[in-house]
Every structure is written in C-alpha cells, then in structure tokens.
Amino acid sequence: MDTLPPLAAVFLDRDGVLNIDHGYVSDPDRLEWIEGAREAVVALTRAGLRLMVVTNQSGIGRGYFEEAAMHGFHAEMQRQLAPLGGRIETFYFAPHHEDAAVEAYRVADHPDRKPNPGMLLRGLAEAGLTADQAVIIGDKPSDVEAGRRAGMPGYLFPGGDLHAFVVSVLGDRVPGLA
C-alpha cells in the first residue's frame, strides 16, 4: 500500500470556513470567526503546516469594495491570530467574474476562480510543494472540485466547529494535531 508523504500545507477557503459569510465581507469590523476557526489555525500552525487561504472575491470585480478593503480584512485576521500563535502564510484571491462591473476582472471561467485550480497550483509552486503534500478545506463543492483538479484531497466543511472538523479529517496525517 502506498503511503502519502507528510502533510505540509492546508489550503482553506475563507468565507464560510474561517469567517461567517455575511455576503461580500470586506469590512474588518464585520469579521466574525466561525466557531473553532482560530483554534484550527493555531493547531495547524503549531503542527508546522503552511496555511494558505484561497478565496473567490468577486465583490471586488463587481465593484462592491476595493481590493485594499479585502487586504485590510486579511490584515485584521492576521492581527487577531498572532497573539494566539496562529498564522496564515498567504492569501490568494480571485476577483474575477463573468458579470464583473470592473472590466479588468470581467472574465468568464478565469483559471484562478474556483472550481478552477489556479490559486492552488500557484500556492503549491510558490511553496515548492506537490499536490500530495496538501489538502483543501472548503464549504462549497467548488472548493473540493478545485482540489480535485489540482490533484489534492478536498474536504467539505459542513459548518459547526472547524477545529473539531480539522482534527477529524486530518488527525491521521498530522501527528499531535489537537
């Protein structure tokens, strides 16, 4: 039986996995963490894994908010995680949508927009990893499909406590995950 190499990275969808999805969330004051999300990030960070967020952000392309607002939201996530010992290494985002109001982002089926695997493939390449060293956790079938297209396992988070879910799906591949 073939064994998988040690897990080195976890890709996480953002809205609905890390934070409550209020619809096009970009204001740091509206950051509300999913139950167990901070604890999951801390546990995975302490286990030595690289954490990368991959998020479709069509609100930018639709003109609902500026890219700078999204970066501010991500900075607030990092600020709140840091004192707990958690860290997200990189945030990848896809502002594209076929109906985007911003012409530069009006692209049908952009390679980065999930379920396409562009953000995952870029993350693997930039981290010097192979698909069998990573997984993706998302709350939509398009997240899992992006993982499949990138060659990595995908786990569909059904809601509830993210930390408990992460331990249940990754505990066998991550020694000491708690």
Q: Which residues are annotated as a binding site for Mg(2+)?
A: 13, 15, 139-140
2, 15, 27, 161: the catalytic one is 15
13 is catalytic: yes
15 is catalytic: yes
d(CA 109, CA 153): 22
User: What order of strands is seen across the sheet that includes strand 154-156?
Assistant: 90-94, 50-56, 9-12, 134-138, 154-156
13, 109, 112, 172: the catalytic one is 13
**Binding site for substrate: which residues?**
13-15, 21-24, 55-58, 113-114, 140
**Binding site: which residues?**
13-15, 21-24, 55-58, 96, 113-114, 139-140
Phi first, then psi: give them for residue 4, nearest 5 degrees. -80, 150
Q: Enumerate the active-site residues.
A: 13, 15
